[in-house]
Structure 1
Amino acid sequence: MPTDDEPQLEVGVGPWQGAWPEGDRWDPELLADGDRRNVVDRYRYWSMEAIVADLEPRRHPFHVAIENWQHDLNIGSIVRTANAFAASAVHIVGRRRWNRRGAMVTDRYQRIEHHEDVEGLVVWARSEGLPIVAVDNTAGSVPVDAAPLPERCVLLFGQEGPGLTEAAIEAADAHVAIRQFGSTRSINAAAAAAIVMHEWVRVHAPDVPPAPPAG
């Protein structure tokens, strides 16, 4: 870690230099003061509303659902990863309040939905014609890389430690697990979510480019 004598690196960019660009997407405060947010360069100086509007048509057709019974610290990190992979939405199942620290404010740009319980999630998923894929190393699960994940689906994750509840496992249409070769029973929930989301992208969006440069 840097000491008090070492210079602190600034994230992002400072105030806009020169004549300000014209258009609705630009945020006057960011242009004047600089943009230190955790956003890709394309979105520097854009307003939050403009970023969300630009993301909407490029979201992928998979959803992420997370059980929230213990106020798990991993939920924020999973939301951040879902934003990075342009998930259609993140669904919080259980407690409405969740720990946002790990999200690093990416929840402002990511659609977040809430369901009181697993049954509520199932009702919604069935109405949308989306199969639920449970992610946990339970009996009967298959390696996530052994067969392609559905293109349109809900990836359902459990809590750190206990994993998915019995209700979630019973409600799922498919069960997948991540191959492991060491001594630990499971890996971190946020890490598992990142692996599975990347597997979806690897299969269904291998040739999709990232966001184009700002024009």
Structure 2
Amino acid sequence: MNSSEDEVGVGPHPQPWPDDPRLDPELLRDGDRRNVVDRYRYWHLDAIVADLDTRRHPFAVAIENWRHDLNIGTVVRTANAFLAREVIIVGNRRWNRRGAMVTDRYQHIHHVASPEDLVAHAAGAGYEIVAIDNLPGAVPLETFELPANALLLFGQEGTGLSPAARAAASAVCSIAQYGSTRSINAGVAAGIAMHAWIRRYAEPAP
């Protein structure tokens, strides 16, 4: 049996409760066991999203979803950790949310039906599409100057980017590998690429 020290979050808030409209009375009463940073303890979901919206980074992430890739949840969770502006699902609307660990509640998720629709969305939002895949002719991510308005585009596990997605990108970047495997997990690749953007543009985390 786990001890109370192993529990995530905090228990009921002692009385009297703070007078703050961002706080949820039910969470104050019952405790807040959500996987959120301490600054958001007891906050309403809408209040958390509104606060995140004041600080989101200008990059976005897109991932193709033709075969219900289980990595999409991981990509969403990582995008939340690095405070991406939005995540765009390309292809099938339905995706497996288990890996997101409910972080999709705090992250703006947009759906487009095709790579062509992604190009239109990117143009309207002011993004520059940069695909990440180990393809012939790809430039090393380690030396590539990611644009501040990058839309990082990822393909599916196994098959990688579709030909239409490759054509949609202004550049294709590869991630250096040194072992025997032909490719790395799509969720891991997304985390590496997002962190490359963070290292170039983001302020140190508070």
**What's the TM-score once normalised by structure 1's chain length?**
0.92
Note the C-alpha offset of 1:209.
3.0
User: Which of the residues 154, 159, 164 maps onto 1:157?
Assistant: 154
Inter-partner Cα distance in structure 2 for 1:200 and 1:131: 13
For the aligned residues, what is the CA RMSD? Answer: 1.2
Counting only pairs closer than 5 Å after superposition, residues 49-198 of structure 1 correspond to structure 2 as 49-198=46-195
Q: Aligned in 2, Cα 1:6/1:130: closer, same or farther, shift over 3 Å?
A: closer
- SS class of match (1:168): helix
- 2:86–2:107 CA contact under 8 A, matched in 1: yes
Which amino acid in structure 2 is aligned with residue 117 of structure 1?
Answer: S
- SS class of match (1:67): strand
Inter-partner Cα distance in structure 2 for 1:46 and 1:126: 35
Which amino acid in structure 2 is aligned with residue 179 of structure 1?
Answer: A
Q: Could you give the per-residue CA deviations for residues 116-153 of structure 1, whole angstroms, max 9, x where no partner exists?
A: 11110001112233211000000111111202210002
**What's the TM-score once normalised by structure 2's chain length?**
0.96
- 2:23–2:43 CA contact under 8 A, matched in 1: yes
Note the C-alpha offset of 1:7.
4.0
Which amino acid in structure 2 is aligned with residue 127 of structure 1?
Answer: G
1:209 equivalent to 2:202? Answer no
Q: Aligned in 2, Cα 1:123/1:6: closer, same or farther, shift over 3 Å?
A: closer
- Count of residues in Structure 1 that have an aligned counterpart in Structure 2: 205
Identity of aligned residues (%): 62
Indicate the residue corresponding to 1:12 in structure 2: 9
